[in-house]
Amino acid sequence: MSSVDIDVAIVGSGPSGIAAATALSKAGFKNIVVYERETNIGGIPRHTHHPSFGLRVFKRPMSGPKFIAALVRRCPDVRFETSTTITALRPGGVLELASASGLRTIRARHIILATGARETPRHGRMVPGLRPQGVITTGALQQYIYSAQLLPFERPVIVGTELVSFSALWTLRHAGIIPVAMIETGPRISAYRPATLFAKAMGVPIRYNTEITDISGIETLTQITTRTRGIKTATIPCDGLIFSGCFTGENTVAAASHLSLNASNRIPLVDQNWITSDPCVSAIGNAIHPADMGDQCYLEGAKAGAYVAQLLAGNISLDKAFSEIRRGEGIKMTTPSILRSDIFGEPHFDLSFHVTAPFRGAVRISQGEQVLNEKSINGLPMRRITLRNNRFATGYPVDVSLIAEN
Amino acid sequence: MSEARWDVIVIGGGVVGCAVTRRFALAGAKTLLLERGRDILSGASKANSAILHTGFDAPPGSLEVACMQAGYQEYLDIHTRLNLPVLKTAALVVAWTEEQLAQLDGIVSKAHENGVDDARQISRQDLLGRETGLSTTALGAVEVPREYVIDPWSAPLAYLKQAVRAGAGYQFDTEVKSGAFDGEYWHLDTGQQRISGRLVINCTGTNGDNIEQICRKPGFEIRPRKGQFLVYDKSASALINSIILPVPTATTKGVVLTKTIFGNLLLGPTAEEQQDRNIATVEREMLDGLIATGIEMLPGLAGHSVTATYAGLRPATQFKDYQISAEPGKNWIGVNGIRSTGLTAALGIAAHVQRLCGETYSDLANFGPAAAAEWPVMPVLAEHEKRAYQQGDGTEIVCHCERVTRGEIEAALDESDVPARSLGGLRRRTRVMMGRCNGFYCSARVAELTQGRISPPLAGHEKDQS
């Protein structure tokens, strides 16, 4: 296995993976492959049938499948290999692949991980109770309704009020189902406030400050018990429970590899150009910042792909060493998570991050005594905040901190 | 109402019921297994820590240690022929306090008394050298080299499959309500059916004392003890090499850290007495407590996510030892109080019950010519062995977290011995939907593949929109 089989292997065919492939294809690389473990390409959008895609890329609202189809039309030369799972990533650009015919190994000059995100399900949230059927996530719900034309239940409760929770509501409406309630642990919805109007129009009550204290049902779900404001308990008869949101990166392969990870969330570290600790591996999209909109992922993937094209063309010499971006209290994650110098212009970076809890005040990026950038923010946990074009000195850690209003 | 006549009726399809059914079927008895759940392992046997124990810390001279050691040996003798896995991890009984350290001597002597001669104390330095992830507050350990990890579901399924191939029958969704003995045959009433057999063997676990009432006044009372567990993501299993056992104390049994055969890391159990025989819920406070204990022992656990939480009920009684006895003149054997060691002991218990049958009922000593043993080959589910997706079975992976192929799912539904007929049964036979995403990626596909095949179904057809 001394020879290189392909130029670039892209793992995952969601918006960011397709974008990276398109950028590389446009830069003249012919020998690139997008690997997809599902039988169809498209990632999450392939089963998200409401018009929350396309506004930034195509300047018009589109459904997930239409968005993906339009993206694919932009890259007619890109090769997709479906039903192919990456089972291991090794140093030196080596990937192990599983498909119907078994295992094989390939070697690429560069690998781009675009493995996406999924919702944290019931067990990962350690919700108490029994384990009946009917407890699922929004992603599973969409596949039941849109891909399989099957109904897993008729009277569900939606847990969470992120954007994706309202996507669950939309999906249910399509199937002619009105959920019993939405429940939210906080005092307001996590998505933008106007989303409540959609729930209201469907006649679905939102119960705030409410957590699940029990799940009942031996084989199939019969009811849940909730507690509001820590005191008031209630039982809600229902036959389905949809755990929505709380996205987590699908980083199984990266986390089991040689890549350096963020210790608290096991997301691979990436620099300002999406290069990981291994200079021949990039990581992009919702795998590293679960989860942003499909359009944002596409635009990011295009930039990352263009950078890899420069790298492979020999126009950039990449430093192996990198410096850390240190997160202060209240910051969930940052993209990038490390900084690295190259000889490709002045060292600067765009910083995106999420807060762990609603926050009003300012965010400051600093390096030692030097303040690189500061901006006032009104942050909510599910909303991405970006500070653009921050110049930095190479080789020293950068701090990102929240400064509360007085 | 027609009435089939069997030599032996085993009530209860847990690991013990499956092993007993196998034993009697292979001995030539026309044997029927009755299970009230939708599949085997619907009760206590579905939730345990999946360790093949040497019996090093069981009460010396007890029936429990005898059955455990016989079961341990028979499992090792037959596992290759059934293609059942063994992960040879060894166990370390770790002392975390000076008080526990002082007890290690006693643990070694007890192990030696139980014939586990290779158990020995190791120093703190040796311990931390072997287990680099353990908290450095550990003070020392007893090493038990032959404690292993096995598959808690494939093993009993293999026993029943082998029994079926030797002519045994089984019936699920069948709850025995009452019964009468006519001096030669037991006639069991299930509400829908009357089923008759010469010998009844009660293996009903947490319902043991109630079923025992059909024949006699039970000399024990089942006191269900709940154990809650956490399964960590596969990424966490590399944090330990051996099974990390606690030093048992008078007040608490402590929790175990072990790899599972499927490549996860298991943390648990708790031990809580409760009244209910059937319902085992997980509770947030207990899980949080387990996690805190786990991180105290293994600090690296903090960054890893939880794949599953579950709770099981152990059919404990007021007695420490198993409660296995035959009722003279009534063709009834009760196999009760098999607490948490049933997975290891099951094959040994089955052999013991067969002996007990021969000693007590001379007319039942020989049922007929022994059946020719066929050895079903179980699918490979163990993470350390070559799985179907690695061999390339010609089908795509459906469940990405556990890497289960469509071929494996179809085989579990289509096979003729004991096919999967419920989601739980399919999950235990294939690992499908058992992974970290809890079905985010694959459940709709699994619903399609299982349509009309499992009950209750995962989903129904969409409503008519018109």
Q: What value of ipTM does the predicted structure carry? A: 0.95
Tell me the three-class secondary structure of B385-448, residue by residue: CCCHHHHCCCCCEEECCCCEEHHHHHHHHHCCCCCCCCHHHHHHHHCCCCCCCCCCCCHHHHHH
CB A99 within 8 A of CB B396: yes
Q: Tens of pLDDT along B183-200?
A: 999 999 999 999 999 999
Strand B91-95, strand B169-171: pairing: unpaired
Average pLDDT of the segment spanning A18-33: 97
Contacts of B437 in chain A (CB under 8 A): 118, 121, 137, 250
pLDDT computed for residue B303 by the predictor: 86
Q: For A135-155, what is the mean pLDDT?
A: 97
Asked if B306 has any chain A CB less than 8 Å from its own CB, the reply is yes
Q: Do domains B5-48+153-220+319-361 and B87-148+222-317 have the same CATH topology?
A: no
Instruction: Reply yes or no on whether the pLDDT at A219 is more than 60.
Output: yes
pLDDT at B1: 43
**Which residues is A333 bridged to in the sheet?**
A354
Contact B441 A139 (CB under 8 A): yes
Q: What is the pLDDT of residues B196-235, one digit of tens each?
A: 999 999 999 999 999 999 999 999 999 999 999 999 999 9
Report the topology of domain B5-48+153-220+319-361. FAD/NAD(P)-binding domain (3.50.50)
**CB B460 to CB A150 under 8 A?**
yes
* pLDDT for B452 beyond 60: yes
Q: What average pLDDT does range B13-28 have in this prediction?
A: 97
Residues B101 and B121: their CA atoms lie apart, in Å, by 10
Sign of CA dihedral A163, A167, A170, A172: negative
3-state secondary structure of A405: coil
B354 burial (CB, 10 Å; 0-12 / 13-18 / 19+) is: buried
Three-point CA angle A254, A16, A307, nearest 5°? 85
> How high does pLDDT run on average in chain A?
95
Categorize the per-residue pLDDT at A320 as very low, low, confident or very high, splitting at 50, 70 and 90. confident
**Minimal CA–CA distance to A131: which of B123, B118, B124, B231?**
B231
What local confidence, expressed as pLDDT, does residue A2 receive? Answer: 45
Size of interface A-B (CB pairs under 8 A): 155
- At A345 the pLDDT is 64
Structure tokens at A34: 């997008």
Residue A207, Cβ density class (10 Å: 0-12 exposed, 13-18 middle, ≥19 buried): middle
pLDDT at A405: 80
In this predicted structure, what is the pLDDT of residue A319?
83
A positions 261-290 inside 8 Å of B (CB): 263-266
Give the model confidence (pLDDT) of A91-118 as tens digits.
999 999 999 999 999 999 999 999 999 9
Supply φ then ψ for residue A172, to 5 degrees.
-65, -40
pLDDT over 70, % of chain B: 97
pLDDT at A165 over 60: yes
Strands (E), A29-119: 32-35, 79-81, 85-90, 94-99, 102-113, 117-119
Average the pLDDT over each of A135-139, B60-64, B88-92, B248-252 and give the range with the smallest value: B248-252
Of A100, A147, A175, the CB nearest to B394: A100
A218 touches chain B (CB under 8 A): yes
Tell whether B192 lies on the interface with A, counting CB pairs under 8 A: no
What gap in Å lies between CA A133 and CA B454, rounded to an integer?
12
- The pLDDT of residue B250: 63
Which residues from chain B sit within 8 angstroms of residue A101, using beta carbons? 392, 394
pLDDT digits (tens, 9 = 90+) for B55-74: 999 999 999 999 999 999 99
Chain A nearest C-alpha distance from B405 (Å): 9
Query: Which of 105-144 (A) contact B at CB < 8 A?
Result: 118-119, 121-124, 126-131, 133, 135-137, 139-140, 143-144
Q: Which of B309, B401, B456 sits opposite A133 (nearest CB)?
A: B456
CB proximity B461 to A under 8 Å: yes
Residue A296 pLDDT > 60? yes
Cα–Cα separations (whole angstroms), residue B350 to A334, B159, B447: 59, 11, 37
Over residues A147-161, the mean pLDDT reads 96
pLDDT at B252 over 80: no
Mean predicted lDDT score pLDDT of chain B: 95
B460 to A151: CB separation less than 8 angstroms, yes or no: yes
In DSSP terms, B406 is beta-bridged to: none
N-to-C CA span, chain A:
61
For residue A70, how far is the Cα from the chain centroid? Answer: 21
Q: Which pLDDT score is estimated for B466?
A: 38
Domains present along chain A, CATH in parentheses: 1-119+246-316 (3.50.50.60), 121-245 (3.50.50.60), 322-405 (2.60.40)
Q: Does A178 touch chain B (CB under 8 A)?
A: no
Terminal alpha carbon distance of chain B? 46
Domain boundaries, chain B: 5-48+153-220+319-361, 87-148+222-317, 388-450
Quote the CA–CA distance of B298 and B281 in Å, as a whole number. 26
Alpha helices in B15-123 (DSSP H): 15-26, 63-78, 98-113
Chain B nearest-CA residue for A120? B437
Find the range with the poorest average confidence among A38-52, A380-394, B116-130. A380-394
What share of chain A has pLDDT > 70, as a percent? 98
Q: Is pLDDT above 70 for B306?
A: yes
How far apart are the CA of A223 and the nearest CA of chain B, in angstroms? 14
> Between residues 28 and 47 of chain B, which touch chain A (CB distance below 8 Å)?
38
Q: Residue B463: its pLDDT value, please?
A: 57
Residue range B326-343, pLDDT digits in tens:
999 999 999 999 988 999
Tell me, what DSSP letter sits at residue B236? Answer: G
Identify any residues that bridge with A106 across adjacent strands, giving them in sequence order.
Answer: A95
Within an 8 Å CB–CB cutoff, is residue B462 touching chain A?
Answer: yes
What number is the average pLDDT over the span A327-352? 88
Q: How far, in Å, CA of B418 to CA of B376, rounded?
A: 11
Could you write out the DSSP letters of every residue in A202-249? HT--EE-SEEEEEEE-SSB--EEEEEETTTEEEEEE-SEEEE---EEE
* DSSP, residue by residue, B5-19: EEEEEEE--SHHHHH
- Which of B348, B27, B350, B365 lies closest to B201, judged by CA? B350
Topology classification of domain B87-148+222-317:
D-Amino Acid Oxidase; Chain A, domain 2 (3.30.9)
Average pLDDT over residues B285-313: 95
